[in-house]
Amino acid sequence: MDASRNAPEADDATRCLIENFIVDYAHMVDDDRLEEWPGYFTEACTYRIIDRASHAKGRSIGIMECSSRGMLLDRIKALREANVYEPHFYRHILSGIRIRGEKGGAWLVETSYAVVRTMQEGDISVFSSGKYVDEIVIENGRPLFRSRVIVCDSQRFDTLVVIPI
């Protein structure tokens, strides 16, 4: 049975706030405004990228795991200053933002996504598809991710993952 059916509905304002928040995150990444990225999360947080099969098995290690805003900051600093890779962009296509309920003061939200990646030479491909499983808290009117788990449909990643999904 679909959990959402009997979930406590968020009011329109809250839903709008959450939807804009999730949408803005995608635009932020695709616009390469990555310095803003850590600001989307609470100080203590979870950012995890793990494939669907491993997630189902309850594996504790996927391909990325950050547990503090500091780690997110370090990721971006590394991306800007340390890591070597070929220039490329993501384009996040989101579908079906659904609020599934509330838990411990956070809204549980699920959103399907596909990320289209464009390399500098022009190659376009679907880099990843899957689902965002989020816990969103609202602190003085501003939503923040307490937890954002990216559950990828594929266990295979092409070349490397440096830009956050």
Partner 1 sequence: MTDSAAARMAWQKEGYSRIPYGVYTDPEVYAEEQQKLFRGPVWSFVGMEQEIQEVGDYRTNYIGETPVIVVRDKDGDVQVMVNRCAHRGNLVCIAREGNASELTCVYHNWRYDLKGNLVNVAFGKGVGNVGGMPDDFDPAQFGLHRLRVETLHGLIFATFSDAALPLRDFLGADMWANLDRVLGRDMELLGTFKQYMPNNWKLYMENVRDSYHASILHMFQATFRINRLSMKGGIRLSDNGWHHISYSIAETDREEAQYNSKVLLSVKDGYLLSDPSLVASWREYDCGTTLAIQSTYPNFVVQQIYNSIALRLCLPKGPEECELMWWVLGSADDTAEQREARIKQSNMVGPGGLISMEDGVVGGWVQRGSKHDPDLTTIVEMGGRDVAPTEEGRATEVSIRGFWKGYRELMGV
Footprint of its own copies on this chain (CB under 8 A)? 1-2, 4-5, 20, 23-24, 26-28, 30, 33, 36, 52, 89, 91-98, 110, 112-114, 116, 118, 121-131, 153-156
Q: With binding defined as CB under 8 A, does residue 73 bind partner 1?
A: yes
**Kindly report the CA angle at 9 between 4 and 12, in degrees rounded to 5?**
130
Residue whose C-alpha is closest to residue 109's, from 1, 13, 43, 14 = 14
Q: With binding defined as CB under 8 A, does residue 158 bind partner 1?
A: yes
N- to C-terminal Cα separation, the chain:
29
Q: Pick from partner 1, its own copies, none: which does 85 bind, CB < 5 to 8 A by kind?
A: partner 1
> Do the beta carbons of residue 64 and residue 152 sit within 8 Å?
no
Which whole-number Å values give the CA distances from 1 to 4, 100, 101, 151, in the listed order? 9, 12, 14, 21
Q: Which of 49, 108, 136, 150 is the binder for partner 1 (CB under 8 A)? A: 49
Q: Pick from partner 1, its own copies, none: which does 114 bind, CB < 5 to 8 A by kind?
A: its own copies
Q: With binding defined as CB under 8 A, does residue 136 bind partner 1?
A: no
